[in-house]
Structure 1
Amino acid sequence: MAAPGTALSHAELAGLPSSLATFLAAPRMRHTLEAGVTTARDLGGADAGHRRAVESGLLVGPRLLVAVAMLSPTGGHGDFRAGNDNRPPDNAMGRLADGPAECRKAVRSVLRQGADCVKIAATGGVWSPTDQPDDDGFLEDEIRTITQIAAGHRGKKVAAHAQGRDGILNAVRGGVDSVEHGYEIDDQAIDLMLERGTFLVPTLTTANTDPDPGKAAPWAYAKKRHWQDIARRHIPRAIERGVRVAMGTDCGIAEHGTNLRELGYLVDCGMTPMDALRAGTSEAAELLGLTHEIGTLEPGKRADVVIARGNPLEDIGSLGDPGNILLVMKDGVAHKDVEGLAA
């Protein structure tokens, strides 16, 4: 929610006053809810205040699970300094740590600030200026330290940004709950994820959002186009082999309020429409540890209901148009009701 939904400029984001960044997030949160998303993880930038603002009714948006900031090694995906910049990092979306001792302190720091889950960088990435998506980020011992600390705090989940093959393996061996992106996933990683029940969140929305060459830096543009092609080749194999998939979009880079486009992209990669719907409901709820509250319509749960125009089992892509979302009910309260369906 802290990112604009277009090409990222971390220098611009770092230069925003924190109060302005929060105000800018408010309409994004509303658009996300009205697009049919009643619960979301925010894996870097939103803090516990965003979550509490929704819970109190101050802001309209999906209920949030926040990671506060992404933990990253120096020079990794959370380090947005230029290569010749030796100043201390000034970035709300990343938190640097090197070695198990610093990782232990960093994860305890975000948990102290109210993190509901933990985000780590197991590989480099597209938008970080000094690494590549197939560079290692945190190594297995660092990741295992983080997952052990998180598990000791009421079983907090750990999500790993991992795009390159070796970093995916490090993340799964280190005990993460989910691999975000997973673009270079191969059969060895698939075998390990199937064995351990690790979720894949393939963020196909951003993989199908071409960067704007007029806004993205040339190095970021080249990386993004290259890794989009890799994702389109590898993700269908993971789906074919039955890796557990939860829906996630990387909105913040992709456009806010179009989240349910992801379901169509999952079907394009081989899922059935019903399995894609489960990825966005019951499977996602299990990844978040919230199956007792959300994800299915059952007595005693939180009464989240989305009604759409048309039959998504026949046209899953129609859900990606917010105009086709007629009713969004969260906790039994209608936040969007185009045709008076809740009356």
Structure 2
Amino acid sequence: MITGPTNEATAAPASAVPLLFHNGLLIDGRGGEPVRDGAVLVEDGLVRWAGPGAERPELPAGTREMDVRGDAILPGFIDCHVHMAAPGGALDHAQLGAMPRSLRTFLSAPRMRQTLFAGVTTARDLGGADAGHRKAVDDGLLVGPRLLVAIAMLSPTGGHGDFRAGTDDGVTDPTMSRLADGVDDCRRAVRDLLRKGADCIKVAATGGVWSPTDQPDDDGFLEDEIRTITEIAAGHRGKRVAAHAQGRGGILNAVRGGVASVEHGYEIDDEAIDLMLERGTFLVPTLTTANTDPDPLKAASWAYAKKKHWQAVARRHIPHAIERGVRVAMGTDCGIAEHGTNLRELAYLVESGMTPMGAILAGTSEAAELLGLAHEIGTLEPGKRADLVIARGNPLTDIASLGKPENVLLVAKDGVPYKDTDGLAA
């Protein structure tokens, strides 16, 4: 049996059998014209060849050939902003903070599986998952996307990571955030996260929706604090910093402080766009959560009001940033938005002005560039990891189809099919 489990939450063994996916619409993640009658040869977990079926090389002995019947062959998608520890709806931090860590870990397991089965083979968790979640996937204990973890967001007192209400002197939930104030405290806090195995660092450059004592256009960490954090992270094998930044002032502080990506960016303006274009800073607009209405029965009234207002702000500003050519990587904020709906983001990007091909690149090769993994993932090219998706139809003419998990027919990670709805690899 060469396939990974499609119904059981255990890991797939590495496939020893070469696989040829053929007779598909090949969209390889490089931005060129799609290849009709395209094919991809996978061996030892890597892409060995990809191109027109008529030009395929001699196949290794024992290759299993899978006719995808004209459906799309795409790279595995990359979600640069998820929260596996969060439930996927109105976020009650007091309830989450009171939950035993072991229970939060168990609850994250089906969410990780949903994410993989939606077509996401790599995800960057920006608060909630720790190094143990990453290792559980790597070691085959859990089925899910390959994970990069920030562990917890760094936040100033009273900032987006400070979930204490009013004058409450209780301790903020360390699963989602850690508090630090001033350059010296930031040095200590970022080094502690790196010691705990963080692959990247997330900072609160502005306030946010779900934090009770600030607003999304309040500044969070200031430029000198952010620069300190980015410099220390860069000194640890080039690790990168993502900035939660919704309001204009915090966006500018984050970009000037050297972050790799602005998360959300809802009030982005031409000054910030000019600076991001100059420095190559990515925007991760998380339009899935910006298009997810809060439940008025579950969200606190103050959070509901902020959410509705900033959804409208995002819809005004993000299309202008896209029009001006800011680099965009796909991120959804699933965990706040519903888990397993990640590829809805692509249609929202197109609604905001991207071409369907541009949206696919945002979720594949551009996302890989942001994460520093373009040498391994993001395109279907020889030598790269064999992360691929077979999706029903042609996403270049119906990008919204990718947002429906039932249209994602097969998901392979490192050459091993985990989801195989139609039994292509059976």
Task: Identify whether the pair has TM-score above 0.5, normalized to the shorter chain.
Answer: yes
Q: CA deviation at 1:91?
A: 3.3
Deviations 1:115-166 (A, max 9, x none): 0000000000000000000000000000000000000000001000000000
Separation of aligned partners in 2, 1:307 and 1:79: 42
Superposed CA RMSD:
0.6
Distance 2:173 2:406 in 1: 39
Q: 1:217 aligns with which of 293, 296, 300?
A: 300
Match of 2:194 in 1: 111
1:137 equivalent to 2:188? Answer no
User: Which amino acid is the alignment partner of residue 199 of structure 1?
Assistant: F
> Which of 154, 174, 177 is residue 237 of structure 2 equivalent to?
154
Using structure 1 for the length normalisation, give the TM-score: 0.99
Partner of 1:334: 417
CA distance in 2, matches of 1:205, 1:277: 15
Partners of 1:170 and 1:203 lie apart in 2 by 20
Unaligned runs of 5+ in 1: none
1:180 aligned counterpart, secondary structure: strand
Match of 2:114 in 1: 31
Equivalent residue for 2:351, pick from 254, 268, 283: 268
Conserved? CA contact 2:182–2:225, under 8 Å: yes
Q: Distance in 2 between matches of 1:147 and 1:208?
A: 30
- Asked whether the 8 Å contact 2:93–2:173 carries over to 1, the reply is no
Aligned counterparts, 1:235-314, within 5 A: 235-314=318-397
Alpha-carbon distance between aligned partners in 2 of 1:329 and 1:101, rounded to the nearest angstrom: 44
1:241-273 deviations in Å (ceiling 9; x for gaps): 000000000000100000000000000000000
Aligned to 1:198: 281
Query: 1:100 is matched with which residue: 183, 189, 192?
Result: 183
- Secondary structure, counterpart of 1:200 in structure 2: strand
Aligned partner of residue 170 in structure 1, secondary structure? helix
Q: Percent identity?
A: 82
Larger RCO, structure (CA 8 Å, separation 6 or more)? 2
Equivalent residue number for residue 153 of structure 2: 70
Residue number in structure 2 paired with 1:185: 268
- Larger Rg: 1 or 2? 2
List alignment gaps of at least 5 residues for structure 2: 1-83
Supply the distance in 2 between the matched residues of 1:340 and 1:2 (Cα, whole angstroms): 31
Q: What is the CA–CA distance in structure 1 between the aligned matches of 2:147 and 2:296, rounded to whole Å?
A: 32
Structure 2 partner of 1:226:
309
Shift of 1:299: 1.1
**1:88 Cα deviation after fit:** 3.1
Distance 1:50 1:168 in 2: 30
Tell me the TM-score normalized by structure 2. 0.80
Greater helix share, 1 or 2?
A: 1
Shift of 1:340: 1.9
The whole-number CA distance in structure 1 between the counterparts of 2:110 and 2:422 is: 22
- 1 CA distance for matches of 2:104 and 2:202? 20
Q: How many residues align?
A: 343
Q: Which amino acid counterpart does residue 395 of structure 2 have in structure 1?
A: P
Higher strand fraction: Structure 1 or Structure 2? 2
Q: Once the 2 structures are TM-superposed, how far is the Cα of residue 92 of structure 1 from its aligned partner?
A: 1.3
Mapped contact 2:152–2:174 kept (Cα < 8 A): no
How far 1:89 sits from its partner (Å)? 2.5
